[in-house]
Amino acid sequence: MWRSTNVVGDWIETFRFQLEKDYGVISESLNEHLFTLEGIWDAVDSSNMIAIFSNQGEILHANETFCKVSGYANKELVGESYTILKSDKYDPALYKDLCNHLKNNEYWHGELKNQTKSGDNYWVLARVFPILSENGETAVYLTIQTDITEGRLAEVQHRVELEKDFASVIKHLQNFVLRVVQTNHTYKVKLLEGKLAEALKLKQLDLDTLDVRDLLGAEEDYPYIDRQFQKAFHGQTVHFEFEKSNYYLHASLSPIYKRGQITEVVVSVSDVTEMKKAELTAKSIAFQDTLTGLPNRRLLEEQLLYDLEEAKEKQHKMALLLIDLDHFKHINDMFGHSIGDQFIMMIAERLQAIPLQDFADEHRLYHLGGDEFAISLVGYSEETLMDLLDVVLESFDEPFPHLEDGFHQLASIGVAEATSNYVQSEDLMKNADMALYSAKHAGGQTYRFFEDRMRGEFLVSVQIENDIRQALKAGNQFALHYQPVKRADTKETIGVEALVRWFHPKKGLISPAEFIPVAERTGLIIPLGEWIVRKACQDLYAMRLEGLTLTVAINISTEQMKQPDFVDIIRTIVRTEGVDPSNIQLEITENALMENTAESVAKIDMLRALGFTIAIDDFGTGYSSLSYLKHFKVDSLKIDQSFIRDLPRENADKAIVAATLQLGEKLGITTVAEGVETEASSQYLKESGCSYLQGYHFSKPIPYQELMMYLDREKVKF
């Protein structure tokens, strides 16, 4: 038995016997080590609580320090179960972990909360060692403990103070806070504070009988609330909203950990009534366009899902029409956004006046924003759809009041019809958009139905885009050709127009009509345009070295004009290449000028101040109003070749050209006729007072070296 008063001595003797048996060491060295061991043991014994207990938990030995801290005399402890020291508030999980280690003959250490004889709690840092018998089984357990009560009491006091401070703070919060613990699958409220609790008259409730679910919803919400607390007590942070006493409230459940275990959940409830009311108000108008009052894009995207399903169930046709105004930005630029908004409202009124019920069973008109409208149709015939498209376009035929006399706004329509292949509304939207792009590309005031080939055209466009990027990196695929510009009276070459050509390494010569629109759409026209300006300046410098004084005309795209630093870019290139701006004419289309009138005016003025001359290219084919001419100071009008090609046979062309020439004369600016292909056209234009001529009648666009030879031959002629 281990009940001897010299238990420690007995244990040392056993230890001595085991050493002698295992190693056969019977020497003074062993005695010396044991003497040292006894010295160490005495030191430990005097400064720590030490006890030995059996594998059944019976206390076999307790040292003086152990008895002093626990309040028991040695004889009161020896023979008793170790549970005599357990606090009534012990942690079951902790003791379970301790027992598991001991059963497996493993060392264990941790903090224990025990109870003295008088009932006071004390804390120890305990280390427990299994002592094995000769047969390898656990004979007894040795525990060495350090009293940490003073520090833990200070911690507890500090925590109490913090909790007091916490309670004081949350009493003044505008929300309310709950501390919730889980007991036998129920949730008990341990704390309820906050001004919102007072406003909801919750403070008067008895916490001992209070069901937390009553605070966070109605009885029918109990299952949902239970699920949220289950999530929180499993480590999730949970948020949900509920209503109570005419308040909209937001609850946030956060798990609180202690020694790695979730001990409680803190619930913070805030008043979101005003925000919720604003949200509900927003939702009520979320599907309505504020300018026109029509259903908006968001509703269209949701409604298309139902329309597609309905069309499928009823085996009806379903179509989406996207309507986009052509060059609407000009109206905003010319007349301001206020007039632009009024104009959109007039468009909406005209479209609303169309009796859509005459064309389809189900129908709805939408304003998608800006200058884009849409019409969805379910249940129609091919004939009624075609009739509707004509009616929509005809609604734009009448002039619009409050703008300029005779002002007409054109529109383009893209049509996508649903088939069995459509499973998502996004597909219908994309296809209608591709059809709309095709209608705009055709010149506007028309409609196009989506066709599968449009996907192929799109892929071709993507391939061209990639090829342009590669060409710009390569630096040797683009070249400039020059077409001479002649004086109408003497036929002397006074300048040239620089025209870009693309020699693809595999596809050969690619027409500008194929790659320029792609470059403009993708923004690649910016680096390409800069390359054109730089190359033209380099060739102009070479011409000057040859003793030639010519003006080089360079085309500027809409996208280039939009650049805020466009003027600085042009100025830097010209200075770097060492050429005189007065020998450069920048050709800009009417539409490019009208993209942003005020900004364009400022840029044109700065360019002219630097010495550049400005020409309006393709005059007569772009913006339909001539009023913009009073805003821009330009030097030349280039009459589009579509009015020149059939001169002097076509009377309508003669009238347009004559009016343009008279306009140029009245404004004091020169005129250039593009596309002169016959001597008859040349002679007629000369007699009509045109300043300069350009076209295949004189020369096609030619490379720089050929241009030099062309000019040499002209010198001989003159």
What is the DSSP annotation of 328-342? THHHHHHH-HHHHHH
When pLDDT is averaged across residues 613-628 and rounded to a whole number, the result is 74
Residue 137, number of CB atoms within 10 A of its CB: 10
Q: Among 456, 437, 459, 457, which residue's Cα sits nearest to residue 448?
A: 437
Q: What is the mean pLDDT of residues 593-604?
A: 79
Q: How far apart are CA 207 and CA 187, in angstroms?
A: 11
| Stretch among 177-181, 208-212, 583-587 having the lowest mean pLDDT | 208-212
In angstroms, rounded to a whole number, what is the distance separating the alpha carbons of residues 658 and 236? 81
Q: What is the pLDDT of residue 4?
A: 41
25 class by beta-carbon count within 10 Å (0-12 exposed, 13-18 middle, 19+ buried) = exposed
Contact criterion met (CB below 8 Å) for 169 and 77: no
Can you tell me which residue has the tokens 């009377």?
651
Q: Other C-beta atoms within 10 Å of 664: how many?
A: 21
Cα separation, 564 vs 674, whole angstroms: 30
Structure tokens, 667: 């404004």
Residue 627 scores a pLDDT above 50: yes
Phi, psi for 443 (deg, rounded to 5): 115, -5
Q: Specify the pLDDT at position 377.
A: 95
> Which stretches does DSSP call E strand in 514-590?
551-556, 584-589
Cβ count near 86 (within 10 Å): 14
Residue 231 has a pLDDT of 93
Give the orientation angle of helix 452-474 with respect to helix 425-441, to 10 degrees. 70
Other beta carbons within 10 Å of 284: 9
Task: Give the per-residue pLDDT at 11.
Answer: 58
Look-up of token digits 């400039």: 480
* Helix (H), strand (E) at residue 300: helix 297-314
Q: Is 232 exposed, middle or buried (0-12, 13-18, 19+ CB in 10 A)?
A: buried
Give the dihedral sign, CA 445/446/450/456. Answer: negative
Arithmetic mean of pLDDT over the chain: 85
In DSSP terms, which residues pair with 52 in a beta bridge?
61, 142
Sheet holding 138-147, edge to edge: 59-62, 49-54, 138-147, 121-132, 108-115
Place of tokens 């390359």: 531
Lowest mean pLDDT among 42-51, 352-361, 551-560: 42-51
Q: What is the mean pLDDT of residues 679-695?
A: 95
Instruction: Give the separation between CA 240 and CA 247, rounded to whole angstroms.
Output: 14
Please, what sign has the CA dihedral across residues 48, 51, 55, 56? Answer: negative
The whole-number pLDDT of residue 186 equals 81
Q: Would the pLDDT of 188 be above 60?
A: yes
490 burial via Cβ count (<10 Å: 0-12, 13-18, 19+): exposed
Residue 508 backbone zone (phi > 0: left; psi -120 to 50: alpha; other: beta): left
Compute, in degrees rounded to 10, the torsion defined by CA atoms 499, 502, 508, 514. -90
How many Å apart are CA 146 and CA 49, to the nearest integer? 6
CA distance 702 to 482: 5
Residue 639's pLDDT band (boundaries 50, 70, 90)?
very high
Please say whether the beta carbons of 283 and 296 come within 8 A.
no
Greatest C-alpha distance within the chain: 140
| 682/692 Cα distance (integer angstroms) | 10
Q: Which residues of 165-202 are buried (b: 16+ CB within 10 A; e: fewer)?
A: eeeeebeeeebbbbbbbbeeeebbbebbbbbbbeebeb
Which residue did the predictor score with more confidence, 220 or 530?
530
Whether the link from the prior residue into 581 is cis, omega within 30° of 0, is no
Please determine, for residue 413, whether its predicted confidence score (pLDDT) is greater than 80. Answer: yes
| Domains along the sequence of the chain with CATH | 7-147 (3.30.450.20), 153-276 (3.30.450.20), 287-450 (3.30.70.270), 471-717 (3.20.20.450)
The number of C-alpha atoms within 13 Å of 709 and in the hemisphere containing its C-beta is: 5
Question: b or e along 418-427 (b: 16 or more beta carbons within 10 Å of the residue's beta carbon)?
Answer: beeebeebeb
Which of 159-163, 240-244, 606-610: highest mean pLDDT?
606-610
Q: Is the pLDDT of residue 322 over 90?
A: yes
Round to whole Å and give the CA distance between 107 and 109.
Answer: 7
Tokens 């649903």 label which residue?
A: 418
Q: Average pLDDT, stretch 180-186?
A: 83
Percentage with pLDDT > 70 across the chain: 87
Give yes or no for a contact between 319 and 380, defined as CB atoms under 8 angstroms apart: yes
Contact (CB, 8 A) for 448 and 439: yes
What is the average per-residue pLDDT within 641-670? 90
- What pLDDT does 3 receive? 44
Phi, psi of 197 (to 5 degrees): -65, -35
Tell me 444's DSSP state: S
Residue 25 has pLDDT above 50, yes or no: no
Rounded Cα distance between 324 and 400, Å, is: 17
* Terminal alpha carbon distance of the chain: 137
CA distance 180 to 265: 5
Instruction: Quick: pLDDT tens for 71-100.
Output: 999 999 999 998 888 887 777 788 888 888
Cα–Cα distance measured from residue 483 to residue 702, given in angstroms and rounded to the nearest whole number: 6
Q: What is the pLDDT of residue 499?
A: 97
Q: Residue 673: what pLDDT? A: 94
Q: Judge whether residue 370 has pLDDT over 50.
A: yes
Runs of H (alpha helix) within 578-691 = 590-594, 597-610, 651-667, 679-688
Coil, helix or strand for 553? Answer: strand
Give the DSSP per-residue string, 63-101.
-HHHHHHHT--HHHHTTSBGGGGB-TT--HHHHHHHHHH
Is residue 438 packed enough to be buried (19+ CB in 10 Å), middle (13-18) or exposed (0-12)? buried
Q: Between 674 and 195, where is the model more confident?
A: 674
Res. 26 pLDDT band, cuts 50 70 90: very low
Residue 408: predicted pLDDT: 64
- Residue with token string 């050969």: 508
**Which of residues 309 and 390 earns the better pLDDT score?**
390
Evaluate if residue 5 carries a pLDDT over 90.
no
Which tokens is 118 given?
């008088």
- For residues 356 and 389, what is the distance between their CA atoms, to the nearest angstrom? 11
Instruction: Tell me if residue 398 falls in helix, strand or coil.
Output: coil
Task: Answer whether 366's CB lies under 8 Å from 375's CB.
Answer: yes
Residue 662: which pLDDT band, with cuts at 50, 70 and 90?
very high
Q: What is residue 93's predicted lDDT score, i.e. its pLDDT?
A: 80
Which two tokens mark 181?
């613990």
User: pLDDT exceeding 90 applies to what percent of the chain?
Assistant: 47
